[in-house]
């Protein structure tokens, strides 16, 4: 694996095909077989993908909600995770950006690792600002101990629907001001250790009764209501300075001319609202593209990846059709469009991968006050 080059060098040095490969962040699993590990290594070396998002096992992924595969256990999951990251980095021409969902710690994805309070627990006491900063900081230390650069959290959705099947305890609560205060503390705590964050699930997944892993939730509110509620935490944290925003799979008719196109692949919502109206020029990452809210509706391999990129996503998370997606983007995107995303992605890589202070041990959550 080469050392991290500058953003200007990357724009100049990488071929167009390599640049498009950098947009992709497929999934990796700590309980993969040797054959599956080698397939990922081949993806990395052949297509120059930009990063990986780690999960526990293929049986625990979103597309297994029907319970067809048995989730295997792994007592040495943390050690396996570390070794896999080293192995995958060795397969890369350019350093991989390694991510994970660690909202309440690595334990969200990796067993036998420290677990911290859920967001809803932290949100139950309005005096928990300092504690929430510490939680973000300690989770970041655990990420660094594994070789992870990017914690895809916190959730800034406002938990206003008691029938919400997917947000619930992942939210800091039902008060938008408290959500902003605690999410800001969590982000600052994470940033204090040099680990990246991503606020999610834009434009707001709190007031839904549908799980977007399985179907497409509809947020049927006026734009005025959305600005005052769902979009409020995103705007506040964007103004504070966040590394990235994750866009969810939601139908939000008030924000688009085509209500049939989910927010995660909707140019009106990502480029129009998030970029142009809300002023966010950082990295936009899609929610997992294997989730049934979108994946079932785009059966042509590569089409969903192209639509997600063209709508304004820089990073295509859990993309399943790498080769076809790269080809479709190469055929349809302009060089200026590709370079704009590469500049954002590479700036993030330089920010995250330049550090050297990686500890050797996981944090003990009981050490928190």
pLDDT at position 97, please?
A: 98
Q: Which of 213, 249, 292, 321 is catalytic?
A: 213
Q: Which of 101, 142, 287, 314 is catalytic?
A: 287
Q: Is residue 75 part of a domain?
A: yes
pLDDT at position 36, please?
A: 96
Q: Is residue 116 part of a domain?
A: yes
- For the segment 53-60, the average pLDDT, to the nearest whole number, is 84
Task: State pLDDT tens for residues 248-266.
Answer: 999 999 999 998 899 999 9
Please indicate whether residue 287 is annotated as part of the active site. yes
Separation of alpha carbons 254 and 219, rounded Å? 9
Provide the domain limits for residue 237. Answer: 7-358
Please indicate whether residue 258 is annotated as part of the active site. no
CA atoms within 13 A on the CB side of 183: 33
147 has pLDDT over 50: yes
pLDDT at position 357, please?
A: 45
Q: Is residue 351 part of a domain?
A: yes
Tokens 């780690």 correspond to what residue?
54
Separation of alpha carbons 36 and 29, rounded Å? 9
pLDDT at position 363, please?
A: 81
- For the segment 1-22, the average pLDDT, to the nearest whole number, is 91
Task: State pLDDT tens for residues 79-96.
Answer: 999 999 999 999 999 999
Q: Is residue 80 part of a domain?
A: yes
Alpha-helical runs (H) found in the chain: 7-13, 16-21, 34-47, 77-90, 119-123, 129-146, 176-191, 223-228, 231-240, 267, 292-295, 303-311, 322-332, 335-353
- For the segment 156-181, the average pLDDT, to the nearest whole number, is 92
* Count of structural domains within the chain: 1
Q: Is residue 363 part of a domain?
A: no
How does DSSP classify residue 98? E
277 has pLDDT over 50: yes
Q: Is residue 365 part of a domain?
A: no
CATH of the domain at 285: 3.20.20.300
| Position with higher pLDDT, 364 vs 351 | 351
332 has pLDDT over 60: yes
Range with lowest mean pLDDT among 212-216, 256-260, 295-299, 344-348: 212-216
pLDDT band at 353 (very low <50, low <70, confident <90, very high): very high
Question: For all residues of the chain together, what is the average pLDDT?
Answer: 92
Q: Is residue 366 part of a domain?
A: no
pTM of the predicted model, to two decimals? 0.94
Range with lowest mean pLDDT among 96-100, 153-157, 163-167, 262-266: 163-167
Q: Is residue 364 part of a domain?
A: no
CA distance readout (Å), 250 to 300, 305, 365: 21, 17, 35
């Amino acid at each position: 694996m080469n050392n991290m080059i500058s953003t200007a060098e990357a724009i100049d040095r990488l071929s167009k095909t390599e640049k498009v490969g950098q947009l992709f962040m497929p999934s990796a699993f700590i309980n993969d077989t040797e054959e599956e590990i080698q397939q990922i290594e081949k993806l990395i070396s052949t297509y120059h993908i930009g990063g990986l998002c780690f999960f526990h096992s293929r049986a625990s992924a979103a597309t297994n909600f029907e319970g067809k595969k048995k989730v295997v256990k792994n007592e040495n999951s943390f050690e396996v995770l570390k070794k896999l990251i080293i192995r995958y980095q060795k397969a890369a021409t350019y350093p991989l950006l390694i991510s994970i969902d660690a909202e309440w710690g690595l334990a969200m994805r990796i067993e036998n690792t420290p677990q911290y309070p859920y967001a809803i627990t932290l949100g139950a006491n309005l005096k928990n600002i300092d504690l929430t900063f510490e939680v973000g900081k300690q989770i970041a230390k655990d990420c660094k101990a594994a070789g992870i650069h990017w914690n895809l959290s916190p959730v800034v959705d406002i938990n206003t629907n008691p029938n919400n099947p997917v947000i619930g305890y992942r939210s800091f609560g039902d008060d938008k001001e408290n959500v902003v205060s605690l999410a800001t503390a969590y982000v600052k705590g994470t940033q204090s250790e040099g680990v990246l964050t991503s606020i999610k699930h834009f434009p707001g997944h709190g007031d839904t009764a549908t799980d977007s892993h399985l179907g497409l939730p509809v947020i049927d509110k006026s734009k005025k209501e959305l600005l005052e509620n769902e979009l409020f935490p995103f705007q506040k944290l964007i103004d504070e300075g966040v590394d990235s925003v994750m866009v969810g799979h939601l139908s939000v008719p008030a924000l688009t001319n085509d209500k049939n196109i989910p927010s995660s692949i909707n140019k009106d919502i990502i480029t129009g609202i998030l970029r142009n109206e809300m002023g966010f020029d950082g990295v936009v990452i899609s929610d997992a593209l294997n989730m049934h809210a979108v994946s079932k509706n785009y059966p042509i391999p590569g089409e969903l990846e192209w639509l997600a990129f063209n709508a304004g996503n820089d990073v295509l998370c859990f993309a399943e059709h790498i080769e076809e997606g790269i080809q479709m983007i190469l055929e349809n995107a302009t060089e200026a469009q590709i370079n704009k995303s590469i500049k954002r992605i590479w700036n993030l890589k330089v920010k995250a991968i330049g550090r050297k202070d990686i500890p050797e041990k996981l944090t003990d959550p009981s050490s928190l006050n």
